[in-house]
Amino acid sequence: MTSSPRPKRPKHPACPPPPLLLVLVHTAAALLAAAALLATLRTGLDERGTALAFGLLVTVGELARWTGAQVREAAPLAAAGALSYALLGADAGEPSRHGAAQVIAVVVGAALLGAVPHIARGQRGLLDHLARRVLTVGFAAVCFQPLHLQGTFSRWGGPAQALLLLALLALTALCDAVLAAALAHSRTRWPFGPLLRDELRALLGIGSAVCATGAVMALAVAVAGLWALPVFCLPLLLTQLSFRRYAAVRATYRQTIASLARATEIAGYTPAGHARRVAALGQAVGRDLGLSEPELTVLEYAALMHDIGQLSLVDPVPAGATAGLPAQEQRRIALLGGAVVRQTGVNAQVAMVVERQADPWPEQPVAARVVRAVNAYEEKARDAGPGGPLKALEELRLATAEEYAPEVVEALARVLSRDCLTLPAAG
């Protein structure tokens, strides 16, 4: 008796291999950390008390790292402590003898120890975070420690020493910004230029605070000894606490807007999850177009609230699909939505984007062009079956002469094809 052949399982697309740039960054960090650890184990620790104090500072900073939202520097205290150890030239007036290899080894060990609870909780992004920490601190240590051991800083002294230290801090901050943008580009495939621009802008905030605190702690320890560490850590701890409160306020504000946007779904005017899907896909398109972080925030809020004008309609639009309505009716609904948004006290730019989402695309701001195109794509593709996404995208391309901005439609096509994406999950 012959058995019937087993049915073939459907083939799922294989996960794409990690980008080459990501592999190179992680490999470079791993090799640097391994070389530093081996060199330190072979020669032993110099000035163990100082190494233990800075290692403890980095560990505490990693344990207290911010895990609530994506931020530019999740562990500013650990970053400042690692940078200050890399720039340390003396301890209470006595010249230090540790080299760059010991700096990297201590920071690696402390960062790994502080990351254990976050790894146990399954937090994402730790590998990129550790790679950035190792390479940035390694860059600062390799630049500073050989010059210090050769006596360059002691010979220069005065303003020349301060200028050299400032130049080294600027190069270290630039190295960290480039690494952060490169890792984000490899993970998300968003354009590298806008990501680097956002990282450089962030240097004016928490980045400058970390660099300044690290340099001041190194100079203070050189004069006053290790007792200067807790004193100069306090301002950065207070800054981190204030930032957490600010992030909590922003998160509450966004949740309020998202809840307000769900009013159309609860009332039955739009399908469940429509606004959230438009916001998620719209942000991806905005990033592909190179919008800045403030512009992406406005785009997200406008996408969440783009259909709120339908609450003023007596007769709901079937399935909430406004893309097929006459242009005059679309403008009327958009103006009604903008009036509602203005009454809620949300940023006036959000209201303006909601009002102008139905205008002719040459007259629209970029955010309004994105909202209009992504909303039309979502409406056309959600109920069109397996071939719906391609058909919807083709319809948008055919209408670029009058209704949709060509560059936005092409950016949408890149986002969809880049990740083999059709629509964000309804959730």
**For helices 208-224 and 158-188, angle between their N-to-C axes, nearest 10 degrees:** 140
Q: How confident is the model at residue 8 (pLDDT cuts 50, 70, 90)?
A: very low
Residue 27: count other Cβ atoms within 10 Å of its Cβ. 11
DSSP helix/strand/coil, 280: helix
Per-domain residue ranges for the chain?
20-249, 262-418
pLDDT value at position 167? Answer: 85
Start-to-end CA distance of the chain, whole Å, equals: 48
pLDDT value at position 385? Answer: 65
Q: Six-digit token pair at 137?
A: 């601190």
Q: From CA 389, how far away is CA 394, in angstroms rounded?
A: 9
Q: From CA 398, how far away is CA 401, in angstroms rounded?
A: 7
Asked whether the beta carbons of 357 and 344 are under 8 A apart, the reply is: no
Question: What fold does the segment set 262-418 form as a domain?
Answer: Hypothetical protein af1432 (1.10.3210)
Answer yes or no: is pLDDT of 22 > 70. Answer: yes
Asked whether the beta carbons of 355 and 338 are under 8 A apart, the reply is: yes
90-91 and 94-95 strand pairing: antiparallel
Which residues are 91's β-sheet partners? 94
pLDDT value at position 270? Answer: 82
| Averaged pLDDT for residues 63-84 | 77
CA distances 385 to 324, 380, 381, Å, are: 18, 10, 8
Pick from 293, 74, 288: nearest CA to 198: 293
- pTM of the entire structure? 0.76
Q: Which of 64-73, 204-213, 284-293, 358-367 has the lowest mean pLDDT?
A: 64-73
How does pLDDT run across 378-411, given as a tens digit for each residue? 888 876 666 778 888 888 888 877 788 899 999 9
Asked whether the beta carbons of 137 and 86 are under 8 A apart, the reply is: yes
Residue 42: count other Cβ atoms within 10 Å of its Cβ. 8
Q: How confident is the model at residue 64 (pLDDT cuts 50, 70, 90)?
A: confident
| Averaged pLDDT for residues 232-259 | 81
Q: Where are the alpha helices (DSSP H) in 225-312?
A: 228-261, 263-266, 274-288, 293-304
